Amino acid sequence: RGMVGGRVTTTANEGIQTDSTTLTSLISVDPPRGTRDFPPEDMRLRSWLFQHFREVSRLFAFEEIDFPVLESEELFVRKAGEEITQQLYNFEDKGGRRVALRPELTPSLARLVLQKGKSLSLPLKWFAIGQCWRYERMTRGRRREHYQWNMDIIGISGVEAEAELLSAIVTFFTRLGITASDVGIKISNRKVLQAVLARYSIPDESFAAVCVIVDKIEKLPRSEIENELAALQVPSDAIDGILQALTLKSLDDLEDLLGAESGAVAELKQLFALADGYGFSDWLNFDASVVRGLAYYTGTVFEAFDRERKLRAICGGGRYDQLLSTYGGADTPACGFGFGDAVIIELLKERKLMPELGHVVDDVVLALEDHLKAPAAMVAAHLRNAGRVVDLVLETKRLKWVFKHTERLHAKRLVLLGATEWNRGTLRVKDLITREESDVTLDDLLT
């Protein structure tokens, strides 16, 4: 859709200029491909969701943080073949800097922890809600942005940290009316895979890349998985060992495979014991097939899934004890999760748990004559000071329009300023629920 008539000039740094006489066809009114607008109704649902994110974070005494959506590209450059780095929304800015729209929040959190360094007293319990980006071919028609809630605990090496994060996730689901019969949380530990790889003398350097490939096990044919693992010099007998380990469904089986001294077994047993203490054991399943697709996980990994298995993972996370040191910082234990804003809404729709969120207006205030506009403004201010949500009609409107307007807003009251009433110090009020009308004083309005 170009300009209709007129001149379009483009200069290097101002972008497209049009002369004022140019008649233009409608500009594209849609947001960029793969992105969303949030008109009022959608924004109310998003605000409702984020309010629950924030209230759960507050209950767990986490502090909110935030960082730029734009980061240096180097923060996300990893060599483990993750989809998240292959779809980086990266570019060179006008200063020639390599930058990227963040695909996740954890690297920014790690950067902030390293930036603050010794001024921080560990452990940190931080949370953030931020928009994350990916650039993928629109052929897949998938979104390019979503909002993610993250909670992270920095400085605790024990699985008590994971237990606290899992408790926050369960608390969140419970607040929304979701139960353990709707959602389960698969728990595993990358030390399982580490132990199996060690038996086949696979070098540690391949560990992250192997995890990224193994994470795709349920999405790709086995032959593809075998090819990708073979490319990492993982011999086919090791592949059988890996795949066999991933089918384990109980800690006893895991102990049989790894032995009673296994660190993974000990951590998992401790985590399940803590879950018992919190009272959310029935949400958890040990499932060795959970690997997660991020390269930097080193220990516990988990993901919440809908037990009807209709939806993608609802949220996920794990321990990432090496991330800060890969950025050149001191070794610092850390774990966290990411919770996206899309699948949870699909789940709420599936379970008929979507909230009814109206635009709540208490009073509509209208001056029936122009010379009463200032008094109407005073009445509105008075009501607002008392905490009432007031829609002050800003133009001279006929009553017919105003009644329609109060219906559209589902307002509770209509407050009219008419000359005769105002001269004797009263206002005409119509209760839009009982339909009663009365003349009252300003003070009566607030009783």
Ligand X SMILES: Nc1ccc(Br)nc1
Which residues contribute to the site for ligand X (CB under 6 A)?
84, 103-104, 132-134, 143-146
Q: Counting Cβ atoms within 10 Å, is residue 103 exposed (0-12), middle (13-18) or buried (19+)?
A: buried
Minimum Å gap between C-beta 108 and ligand X is: 13
| Nearest CB to ligand X, comparing residues 34 and 333 | 34
| Nearest CB to ligand X, comparing residues 184 and 338 | 338
Minimum Å gap between C-beta 317 and ligand X is: 14
Minimum Å gap between C-beta 377 and ligand X is: 45
| Nearest CB to ligand X, comparing residues 103 and 184 | 103
Please tell me whether the peptide bond between 123 and the residue prior to it is cis, using omega within 30 degrees of 0: yes
| Nearest CB to ligand X, comparing residues 146 and 191 | 146
| Nearest CB to ligand X, comparing residues 102 and 125 | 102
Query: Closest by alpha carbon to 315, among 341, 350, 297?
Result: 341
| Nearest CB to ligand X, comparing residues 68 and 235 | 68
Helix 263-278 crosses helix 160-175 at what angle (to 10 degrees)?
40
Minimum Å gap between C-beta 50 and ligand X is: 17
Minimum Å gap between C-beta 298 and ligand X is: 20
Minimum Å gap between C-beta 84 and ligand X is: 5
Cα distance between residue 66 and residue 70, in whole Å = 12
| Nearest CB to ligand X, comparing residues 99 and 251 | 99
| Nearest CB to ligand X, comparing residues 71 and 104 | 104
Minimum Å gap between C-beta 206 and ligand X is: 24
Minimum Å gap between C-beta 102 and ligand X is: 8
Cα distance between residue 24 and residue 39, in whole Å = 25
Minimum Å gap between C-beta 70 and ligand X is: 14
Cα distance between residue 285 and residue 264, in whole Å = 15
Minimum Å gap between C-beta 145 and ligand X is: 6
| Nearest CB to ligand X, comparing residues 135 and 278 | 135
| Nearest CB to ligand X, comparing residues 133 and 339 | 133
